[in-house]
Amino acid sequence: MTPEALATLHGQAFTTPRPWSAAEFSGLLDMAGVLLISQPAGFILGRAIAGEAEVLTLAVAPYARRQGIARQLMLEFELQAAQHNAETAFLEVAEDNAGAIGLYLSLGYVISGRRRGYFKTPDNKRLDALILTKTLLPNA
């Protein structure tokens, strides 16, 4: 996917956190250790460096939700991260995103912390981010 396509899909999927621009995606894609896994209706962008993998964003188009796309993307991200020698994975998710939290917990992530007021909503309220972590299986 191009940075423009990533930004378009991200804009369809998010209001909180705010959608990222094509320029932001372009800059991220140029960074070392970045992993992008995409399907027509969704993508995951993360990085694997220094033994850790971080999910930067996971977006699925609203019309394609609850069809297993996010789960597939997460599993592929974990596999690729392990292939890049990541031993643990982490992510931040808005505390009110029950669907995403349920997915991550079902994949074996555990809540390991909280960032107070991390996300800003379109109406300028602040939401906490839950930090979730998971130990990745060594690459076979």
Contact indicator for 107, 93 with CB cutoff of 8 Å: no
Distance in angstroms (rounded) separating the CA atoms of residues 122 and 16: 7
Contact indicator for 55, 90 with CB cutoff of 8 Å: yes
Asked whether residue 31 is assigned to any structural domain, the reply reads: yes
pLDDT for position 139: 61
Share of the chain above pLDDT 90, in %: 86
Mean of pLDDT over the chain: 93
Asked whether residue 112 is assigned to any structural domain, the reply reads: yes
pLDDT at residue 135 above 50?
yes
Among 65, 125, 130, 59, residue whose Cα is nearest residue 91: 130
Residue 41 CA, chain-centre distance (Å), reads 15
Asked whether residue 74 is assigned to any structural domain, the reply reads: yes
Give me the domain span that covers residue 106. Answer: 3-135
Asked whether residue 123 is assigned to any structural domain, the reply reads: yes
Asked whether residue 81 is assigned to any structural domain, the reply reads: yes
Provide the pLDDT confidence category of residue 140 given band limits of 50, 70 and 90: very low
Q: pTM for the full model?
A: 0.91
- How many domains does the chain divide into? 1
Asked whether residue 140 is assigned to any structural domain, the reply reads: no
Identity of residue 55: V
pLDDT for position 84: 94
What pLDDT digit, counting tens, does each position of 71-121 carry? 999 999 999 999 999 999 999 999 999 999 999 999 999 999 999 999 888
pLDDT at residue 16 above 90?
no
The DSSP line for the chain is: --HHHHHHHHHHH-SSSPPPPHHHHHHHHTSTTEEEEEETTEEEEEEEETTEEEEEEEEE-GGGTTSSHHHHHHHHHHHHHHHTT--EEEEEEETT-HHHHHHHHHTT-EEEEEEEEEEE-TTS-EEEEEEEEEEPPPP-
CATH number assigned to the domain comprising residue 101: 3.40.630.30
Asked whether residue 21 is assigned to any structural domain, the reply reads: yes
